[in-house]
Structure 1
Amino acid sequence: MTRIAVAGAGYIGQAHMAAVQAEPGCTLAAVVDPSPAAAGAAARAGVPLYPSIEALLARDRPDGLVLATPNALHVPQALQCVDAGLPVLLEKPVATTVAEARTLLARVQGKGARVLVGHHRAHSPIMAKARQVVASGQLGRLVAVMGSATFYKPDSYFADGPWRREPGGGPILLNMVHEVHNLRMLCGEITQVQAMASQAVRGFAVEDTVSMGLRFANGVLGSFLLSDTAACARSWEQTSQENPAYPSYADEDCYVLTGSNGSLSVPTMRLKTYPRPEERSWWKPFEVGQVGLVREDPIQRQMAHFAAVVRGEAEPLVDVHDGLQNLAVTEAIVQAAASGRTVDIPEPAPKETA
């Protein structure tokens, strides 16, 4: 059995605990969390509780560790595990700043460490199928992408965490990092961003709505609307049907990929293409269909992949290099919104020399 421990017994930590327990060939070794509330989570799981990673490693070293701790602890704890030679599943964001992420990347590459970054949507069958359609050429040359993450966070969300009303607590840094990784998987590297932000609805010191323009390295252009005060179901959580905690609407999409021969709407997977590319025209009808797929829980699929990484059977699907690039784009959006200028994103170095 592959023994995996989980550090952080909050909402996402408990989701990881359940995934370990449900994964064949894996067993939950321990929970690491100094908070009093963690005792109940460990007791329900029937595993020992340790107050720190140091205590865990001193008493019962697992085969791998999930770090689902607060963002500020991600890099210090990941460095601790890397130095101890312990494979890690590090929740997103990979770090709080790009500079921190670079420090972690250098250490990981220097030691050849196994670190999987927890962008779980990378393990979604929906994303895998969408990428397959793009790569197949059915859409022709990819031209543009239109995306959205629009949802309404209730007042209790801000009452429970007053820091969410302040800079750094808004949807750019908390939610957009998910979307950036999806867009990079679908369309390639993002090289430039423009953004306009508003806090007109809630009046907090942090943004509640952001409109973005994106340029990709391959010439694709994108537009993206982000809002946590828009009562609208055009978000991944409310369309993908992957998290039962959210109501889902089968008639809504959050991405539309457009090519020179057709379009794909995600996640409904509605496909419109010209049957005869040589006759394509807006006066000609599309052939309309839907791409079939099998839905599976990406959190569970991510855990299966992490177990394979721990055993040395696979390389991380989302590595620290990816996590750093996602964070770099997100930081650029913040800068663009604050300055009103187009912000260039440096081309990422090749993974083997980053």
Structure 2
Amino acid sequence: MKQRSYDLAIVGAGIIGLAHALAAVRRGKKVVVIDRDSQANGASIRNFGFVTVTGQQAGDCWQKASRSRQVWAEVAKTARIPLLHQGLTMTARLPESEAVIDAFLKTEMGAECRRLTPAEAALKVPCLRQEKITCALYSPLEVRVESKDALPRIANWLKEAHAVDFLWQTSVNSVEAPKLQTSRGTVHAETVIICPGDDGTTLFSDRIATYEVTRCKLQMLRVAPRNRINLGTAVMSDLGLARYLGYAELPQAEPLKARLDREMADHRENGIHLIVVQSQDGSLVVGDSHHYSATPDPFIDKTVNDLILGEMETILDLGPYDISETWIGTYASAPDRWRFTDAPDDSTRIVVVTAGCGASTAFAIGEETIADLYA
């Protein structure tokens, strides 16, 4: 490998790593991104591509999501990433859910949202079973991209428009800035950012262990309606009101969580909440579930998928459909935080999102880290 020196080396080419690369090049830094795979292959491409602001935990997470949504709009335009649809319709069928929606609308986070009647919600989501719901929360803020296409487009754009170098299929064995020992030789960089995703054992495992990081496994499906439908917006249901912390931490959510624990115990025990988004070919990405383990098994549980699909069918009338794909994803999870940034030394940072909101918050996290490193 030809020896080159950089201002910044980033280990990990998922959305967190790419977001840091963007923030750095905007400050005029020479950047290299190193990844052990030939392309992004982890949580960043196995998700919904659902850039979510509404429902993120109040405070830091919601603020980071709000800023990242702005950057996503800029990046999508310049990197030619299609925004497949916009907005979120959060449906409710229980009086306890209505109380959560009403409380949320009174918060700062609900300022751009509004409550819809079932008929109004059906105008946003034409395939909605409006007779099954009592109201909905609508947010105009969310956007949907196809993650498995968007990540390569961002990487190519960073390479072509901003001269970011990428070392694919390259493992990093040790980091001691300004040197990184890799499977392709030594890389020199004044500063280093490690974005390991859910890999807590390869680099700085002792430091990552202090945050009690484990893994969350989720199951997802691609649903192909046999008759073309227009979803309209992303769709969620009552289960999301009890799980997304921007809603679930409101005092008014306690009665909802208690009722769901009684009446939808299987869903709650499997960490299921409904998200449905649409792809350019008309198919729907549907999920998901949450199971926690240091080493999640790689198997898809049909019972869990059936619970997810049952919730989908309760609120959406898709007509006949087929399941074209099912898959699992994993991401890092911690018991008491949604992210952390660790500093082994003045020139090195470890950045991990320990919740399922990396795509929604990455760009703002990248700006924060780069501002700190180059203050």
For the criterion TM > 0.5, the same-fold answer is no
| Structure with greater contact order relative to length (CA < 8 Å, sep ≥ 6) | 2
Q: Structure 1-normalised TM-score?
A: 0.28
Instruction: Give the structure with the larger strand fraction.
Output: 2
TM-score by length of 2: 0.27
